[in-house]
Amino acid sequence: MPAVISMTAATITSPNGSIVLNVDVNSVGEPYYNLSYKDKPVIIDSKLGLAAKEAKFTDQFKILSTDTASFNETWQPVWGEFSEIVNHYNQLEVNLENSNGLLMTVCFRVFDDGMGFRYEFPLQDKANYLAVLDEVTEFNMPANNTMWVIPGDYDTDEYLFTETRISDVTDALKKYNGVHSESQREKELESTVQTPLLMKSDDGLYINVHEAALIGYPAMQLDVDTTTYSLKSHLTPDKLGVRGYLQLPFNTPWRTIIVSDDARDILASQLILNLNEPSKIEDTSWIKPMKFIGVWWEMFTGRQKTWAYSDDYRAKPGVTDYTKLKPNGRHPANTENVKKYIDFAAKHGIDAVLVEGWNEGWEDWASYRKNRQFLFDKPYPDFDLPYLRDYAKEKGVKLVMHHETAANALDYERQLDKAFQFMKDNNYDAVKTGYVGAIIPRSEHHTSQGMVDHAQYVIEKAAEYEIMIDSHEAPRPTGLIRTYPNWLAQESARGGEFESMGGNPPSHTALLPFTRLKGGPMDYTPGLFQTDLSYYGEGKDGKAMTTLARQLALYLTMPSPMQMAADLPENYERFPDAFQFIEDVPVEWRDSKYLEAEPAQYITVARLDKNSDDWYIGAITDDTPREAVIDLSFLPAGEKFIATIYADAPDADWETNPQAYTIKKVNVNNKTKLKQKLARGGGAAIRLQPVK
Amino acid sequence: MPAVISMTAATITSPNGSIVLNVDVNSVGEPYYNLSYKDKPVIIDSKLGLAAKEAKFTDQFKILSTDTASFNETWQPVWGEFSEIVNHYNQLEVNLENSNGLLMTVCFRVFDDGMGFRYEFPLQDKANYLAVLDEVTEFNMPANNTMWVIPGDYDTDEYLFTETRISDVTDALKKYNGVHSESQREKELESTVQTPLLMKSDDGLYINVHEAALIGYPAMQLDVDTTTYSLKSHLTPDKLGVRGYLQLPFNTPWRTIIVSDDARDILASQLILNLNEPSKIEDTSWIKPMKFIGVWWEMFTGRQKTWAYSDDYRAKPGVTDYTKLKPNGRHPANTENVKKYIDFAAKHGIDAVLVEGWNEGWEDWASYRKNRQFLFDKPYPDFDLPYLRDYAKEKGVKLVMHHETAANALDYERQLDKAFQFMKDNNYDAVKTGYVGAIIPRSEHHTSQGMVDHAQYVIEKAAEYEIMIDSHEAPRPTGLIRTYPNWLAQESARGGEFESMGGNPPSHTALLPFTRLKGGPMDYTPGLFQTDLSYYGEGKDGKAMTTLARQLALYLTMPSPMQMAADLPENYERFPDAFQFIEDVPVEWRDSKYLEAEPAQYITVARLDKNSDDWYIGAITDDTPREAVIDLSFLPAGEKFIATIYADAPDADWETNPQAYTIKKVNVNNKTKLKQKLARGGGAAIRLQPVK
């Protein structure tokens, strides 16, 4: 149970006692905290506070009082890795007042797998509005941890990770120069990294730093001090240099630290979801997880296919008569082709079909210099929506809407009601949104407060229309899927599409579950069967660094309630036995067991289907072959299962033989330990069906 | 008829030949023009062009060809000073190509009372998007004209005029330092003035420079060169320094020059309306000009009345339960008080009652540091809207909605559909909008492209809902009332409200019709009867620099289809015979005759009621008493009229005896010349009724 040590300092422990938090103010009244895990320091003395133009909540503080409480509940998410989540923590509220009479409470919640804290600014006489200049939150590391970083950037997180020591971060980030989306800010961000950030200490602790419940506030990045090993919050400013506009009372998002000496605990942690508010949507019956295919990968495969209907770059949505344009003949979002996708989905039990490039505007869209890029209710002439709507309905397949906004959030908001009504009128329930480009309103970045507000505006409006969202290029997730369960997925990291643009090394998907996925599911787009792109000719010669079997495993290691089968139907038709796994694998789970894990190296996870007694297992490795040892002791004692194992063939290798896989069936029970060989860049996927 | 002089230079004249325009390119290919009126130079050689990041349309041009045309039509505005407007001009299109292959057409339209021109950028191979850096349009004066200026400012035009020579502008503008809304820009704007700008030359020409049809482009101000007498366009930038984002094809707004040797022609000119597009609203039957009173002036009179319901500045719309706040007891937008206004309006035939301060948010609204200031569908607890809606309807009176946005255009757009639907649900047809404060999105100024776009978005959305708009603190008007006749009025200048904040000298309302009103009607709020504010006690001791009779004249000299009777009903009850004129005076006209005019000194105008055969005359003077000579020769020959003359009493004076007026009736006909004495700061108002 939590205990207050003295009037001016406070200590609190996690429910099982493994985590200890201390909070105090120093000699100049700066509040600070430290955190330990099983007596190992996780965070050494680290300052707390926030500076605004109008008031500095940083120093001259004294502790007025502390309040402690305990909380233990079990809640049921609408979908996810678990059907029940335990939310168990001890809470410490430290009520501070500074010499100017300013009031601030820091609320800490300590769980067995980490800690969250936030600043709470109550209604008070001495402060009302705040224009935020700086949040001074520190996460000071006791030693020169290993970290897996992507570079600080206000506008994109679509980067590969780099492994580095804290001391070497600045050098490590130099490799991103030039590809960085904000090259003019390279000095400002030269030692800045993004969250969710994963670290590993030499004494064996795994530490994830992120935030939860990002609402009405800019996203946090972290400035790294390479000599003191200090991390400090770096809020995304708007382009006028202000980091946020607040009115009191206001609670910031939670700053989160997940910690364990077992990497699997980081993957299993539900701490970030627990720090978010319960669902604001009362009736969630319309929220339906789904698998989908899409008119999408065609445009990446080097076949010169385009999102645009014509090559006339001067076509303007709402102005040009598109029926008079000359079609370019390379536009896959046409009626006949989409019909084929619908047929494939119907045949294979895939829920839905995404169609990109269906609407007016793609001829010349990627420019912040225009004020209207797209119309969201104007199909291209070759996309017969009434026909496809009825055809899909008849086949029992849903169409997934696509709203690329070209980052013009202002115009998207102007069209939003009409766009969502158009969806409902045409039987669409879900939309993939996109924000490629420089943001309009032009004062905003992708992760500044204005765009955080925009994302909330869109998700709430979508809920009004009973629409599910899969957002791309939006502020990276912070567990808001609990509050808005219609927010099925986001991109917010370098996804599978990059297999056609430089590739993702196998370590990438062995890091994302430790980092990006802590905020919520990713629309990673797994399921690539034709991994050697030279197959398509036309100068494409990249090879995705993955075996085919590994792509099946990703459906388990990268769980999402909106999961794509990314490859072309024609490629799936070439491997029907392997595609059977994608057909079978669920997208929501009753339970999940992380069996093996080491960041950037390997992950093995077992999940229980939410709607049956089938278990599914995914195992991946990095660029080194590996034997996964899959201990099935989690299975119910005494019950027999048949395991269908989709595995790398003995001679499989992402580079030389990616499509070599085997499928075999074996009998297993809770005594079984499967030893499963994973190729270089390989993986395995297993379905376990009870023998009745 | 227009005539082309040569292949590389062009000349065109106005229909009656009084105005001559020459256009050519100089030795470095810079296009230029000059303009004369009755052989007097109006504008000497002045450059044309536009510079963007992507392409410079400024020099290396040659004239490819010229096209000429003539146009003569008569059109009927929905409301206004005339029931018919003649649109008669000769047009010259100069088609230019520069050495980089860039294409630009300058289209000139020359009328008998001036000229408009715009840049037309056609679809072309060498340019598509433009990020505008500078428009180089010059208006070079041949001599050191007198000008009446308000200072350049990206965010407000609520200034008094200063009379100055061009050579002295910089010094003249220094007086605005400190009161200027953008003091940090005083260097950038130190010699900049706003349009509509009025000048007078020593050889007797009156010249107005402004723009028409401001759509999709920033507002234009004018940089003054005090040594060369050059005026140059200065487009309002966004806060990132870009002046506009265009995609070709694009036509800029028209740059307008109204010129005459008779000041009355400037007032009568419809040139700016003629350069705007015809109405985009097909069925205009729902657009109804109106007179209105309002719960408004009470808050200015020093009675400590407030827009806010309570004094709790921490109340937040949508968060706070306003029914639990302590009312401050000084909130005039309450049911009982509004009911009195409705009663007064019904009794006196006033169409409508504006109520300001009816909705949640006024406790603490004027801050760009918050993201939501107001809700537009949440009445205060003491404003019983269902009751008042029904009561007003029963009395045949309309309520006028008020949407103060605190300049948060972003949030206003988010609420707009709901706000307009709320109006329609509650029988409101018209709304006064307000944009006090710094603009959100924070990259915008009040007159930058983004806010011009916002204004168009709002007026078009209003038209969808059949709502009329009276916009305050919006970009100043440019004749768009022709295209959107539901845009009844705007503020966009220092209005009557300033009689409670420093006062408006009488010359102010003798300048506004020559300047601000050329863009469209102003909601000036005339009708102040209690001009000595010390009447209200509590430290208010200002005296409006106007007699009571002059306030009646303003209904003619400041015509508007949405015309307020600004004073308190109780003050009108004290002067019922004078108020009769406000009851009688129409707000739309069949014809208008400007009888006498000199900028900053005097205006006398006669107008024929659109819906009867009654004429109304208004005459005002400045701070000097004057005898208006009112020649009634415009009356139909042989018909007799009774004139009811509301005049300053012999001893009237704005300072010492403002409420001294006389009302007398005389018989008149088209031979009559009325000699009407106007007091210092005085005026006269006359109704002429035919004797049947």
Q: What is the pLDDT of residues B290-315, one digit of tens each?
A: 999 999 999 999 788 999 999 998 88
The residue of chain B with its CA nearest to that of A319 is: B249
Q: For residue B453, which of A374, A315, A441, A368 has the smallest C-alpha distance?
A: A441
CB–CB contact B443 A239 (8 Å): yes
- Min Cα separation A383/chain B (Å): 26
DSSP A77: -
Model confidence band, residue A180 (pLDDT cutoffs 50, 70, 90): low
Q: Which residues in chain B touch residue A314, judged by CB atoms under 8 angstroms apart?
A: 123, 128, 248
Tokens 């909008």 appear where?
A: B433
Distance CA B290, CA B490 (A): 14
Mutation test of the interface with chain B: which of A121, A128, A217, A247, choosing the one with the most B Cβ atoms within 10 A?
A247
Say what the pLDDT of residue A274 is.
98
Task: Say which of A245, A316, A450 has its CB closest to residue B369.
Answer: A245
DSSP letter assigned to residue A543? B
Angle between helical axes of A449-464 and A409-425 (0-180°, round to 10): 10
Q: Report the half-sphere exposure of B206 (CA within 13 A, side-chain side).
A: 20
As a whole number of angstroms, the distance between CA B248 and CA B191 comes to 32
* Secondary structure class of B643 (helix, strand, coil): strand
Of A298, A356, A497, A499, the catalytic one is A497
Task: Say if residue A378's pLDDT is above 70.
Answer: yes
Query: E strands along B383-456, which residues?
Result: 398-404, 430-434
The answer to whether B240 contacts A443, with C-beta atoms less than 8 Å apart, is: yes
Of A367, A371, A414, Cβ closest to residue B413:
A414
Q: Which two tokens stand for residue B25?
A: 């390119």
Residues in A touching B313 (Cβ below 8 Å): 128
Query: What is the predicted pLDDT for the residue at A417?
Result: 96
Q: Is B407 on the interface with A (CB under 8 A)?
A: no
A120, A106 contact by CB (below 8 A): yes
Residues of chain A with Cβ-Cβ distance to B414 below 8 Å are: 413, 457
Look up residue B441 and give its two tokens: 């999105």
Residues of A in contact with B312 (CB under 8 A): none
Q: Could you say which residues from 224 to 243 on chain B have a Cβ atom under 8 Å away from some Cβ of chain A?
A: 238-240, 242
Q: Is A214 helix (H, G, I), strand (E, B) or coil?
A: coil
**Contact flag B123-A314 (C-beta cutoff 8 Å):** yes
Cα–Cα dist B147/B165, whole Å: 6
Contact B239 A443 (CB under 8 A): yes
Contact residues, chain A, for B371 at CB < 8 Å:
216, 245, 247, 453
Question: Would an 8 Å CB–CB cutoff place A75 in contact with chain B?
Answer: no
pLDDT in tens, B514-558: 999 999 999 999 999 999 999 998 767 789 999 999 999 999 999
Tell whether A313 lies on the interface with B, counting CB pairs under 8 A.
yes
Question: What's the pLDDT band for B182 if we cut at 50, 70, 90?
Answer: low
Q: In B229-304, at which residue ranges do the beta strands (DSSP E only) sit?
A: 230-235, 244-247, 250-251, 254-260, 290-295
Tens digits of residue pLDDT in B345-356: 999 999 999 999
Whether residue A370 and residue B245 make contact (CB cut-off 8 A), yes or no, is yes
SS3 string of A465-507? CCCEEEECCCCCCCCCCCCCCCEEEECCCCCHHHHHCCCCCHH
Question: Which chain A residues contact residue B248 at CB under 8 A?
Answer: 314
DSSP A266: H
B441 vs A246, A371, A410: nearest CB = A410
Predicted confidence band at B180 (pLDDT cuts at 50, 70, 90)?
A: low
Residue A519 has pLDDT above 60, yes or no: yes
Cβ distance of A442 and B364 shorter than 8 Å: no
* Residues on chain A touching B133 (C-beta within 8 angstroms): none
Instruction: Please tell me the distance from the alpha carbon of residue B659 to that of residue B657, in angstroms, as a whole number.
Output: 6
Provide CB contacts within 8 A for B2, sequence distance 6+: B11, B12, B13, B68, B69, B70, B90, B91, B92, B110
**Residue A168 CA to its chain's centroid (Å):** 26
Taking the CB of residue B340, how many other CB atoms lie within 10 A of it? 14
| d(C-alpha A546, C-alpha A678), whole Å | 11
Residue from A443, A452, A465 to probe the interface with B (highest B Cβ count within 10 Å) = A443
Q: Which residues of B are catalytic, by number?
A: 497
Residue type, A76: Q
Beta bridge partners of A626: A678
pLDDT for res A77? 98
Residues 147-186 of B with CB under 8 A from A: none
Say how far apart CA A567 and CA A431 lie, in whole Å.
19
Instruction: Give yes or no for residue A181 having a pLDDT over 70.
Output: no
* pLDDT higher than 60, residue B452: yes
B387-443 pLDDT, tens digit per residue, is: 999 999 999 999 999 999 999 999 999 999 999 999 999 999 999 999 999 999 999
* For residues A523-538, average pLDDT: 94
Mean pLDDT for chain B overall: 95
Q: How far is A185 from chain B (nearest CA, A)?
A: 16
CB A309 within 8 A of CB A363: yes
Stated pTM of the model? 0.94
Residue B634 touches partner A, C-beta closer than 8 Å? no
Closest CA to A507 of A626, A389, A396, A405: A626
Chain segment B213-272, per-residue pLDDT in tens? 999 999 999 999 999 999 999 999 999 999 999 999 999 999 999 999 999 999 999 999
Q: Look up residue A278 and give its amino acid.
A: P
Residue A185: what pLDDT? Answer: 72
Tell if the CB–CB gap between B371 and A453 is shorter than 8 Å.
Answer: yes
Whether the pLDDT of residue A303 is over 90: the answer is no
Question: What is the C-alpha to C-alpha distance for residues B594 and A105, in angstroms, rounded to an integer?
Answer: 69
Whole-number average pLDDT of chain A: 95
Mean pLDDT for the stretch of residues A591-620 = 98
Q: Tell me which chain A residues have a C-beta less than 8 angstroms from the C-beta of B368.
A: 245
Q: How far is CA A187 from the centre of its chain?
A: 27
- Name the residue of chain A whose CA is nearest to B369's CA: A245
Distances in whole angstroms, Cα of residue B7 to Cα of each of A312, B1, B24, B109, B426 = 34, 18, 10, 19, 63
The answer, yes or no, to whether residue B571 has pLDDT greater than 60, is: yes
**Beta bridge mates, B657:** B653
Q: Is A649 on the interface with B (CB under 8 A)?
A: no
**Complex ipTM value:** 0.91
pLDDT at A7 over 60: no
Q: Do A128 and B313 touch (CB under 8 A)?
A: yes
Mutate to test the interface with B, among A238, A371, A417 (most CBs of B within 10 A): A371
Question: Residue for token digits 């382009």?
Answer: A239
Residue-level pLDDT at A4: 36
The residue among B247, B248, B449, B461 with the most chain A CBs within 10 A of its CB, best to mutate, is B247
For testing contact with chain B, the best of A217, A240, A363, A442 (most B CBs within 10 A): A442
**pLDDT cut 90: percent of chain B above it:** 92
pLDDT bracket for residue A348 (50, 70, 90): very high
Band of the pLDDT at B179, cuts 50, 70, 90? low
pLDDT digits (tens, 9 = 90+) for B488-516: 999 999 999 999 998 999 999 999 999 99
Say what percent of chain A tops pLDDT 70.
Answer: 98
Alpha carbon B34 to chain centroid distance?
28
Contacting A residues, span 202-221, partner chain B, CB-CB under 8 Å: 216
Q: In angstroms, how far is CA A14 from the centroid of its own chain?
A: 27
Candidates A515, A505, A585, A494; CA nearest to A545 is A505
Interchain contact, A247 vs B369, CB within 8 Å? yes
Query: Catalytic: A497?
Result: yes
Counting one residue from chain A and one from chain B, the pairs whose CB atoms sit within 8 A come to 85
Output the pLDDT for position B560: 98
Residue B129 to residue A443, Cβ atoms within 8 A: no
Any chain A CB within 8 A of the CB of B339? no
User: Per the CB < 8 Å rule, is A442 touching B441?
Assistant: yes
Whether B102 has a pLDDT exceeding 80, the answer reads: yes
CB contact under 8 A, B128 and A314: yes
pLDDT tens for each residue of A221-241: 999 999 999 999 999 999 999
In B, which residues are within 8 Å of A316 by CB distance?
247
By three-state DSSP, how is residue B463 classified?
helix
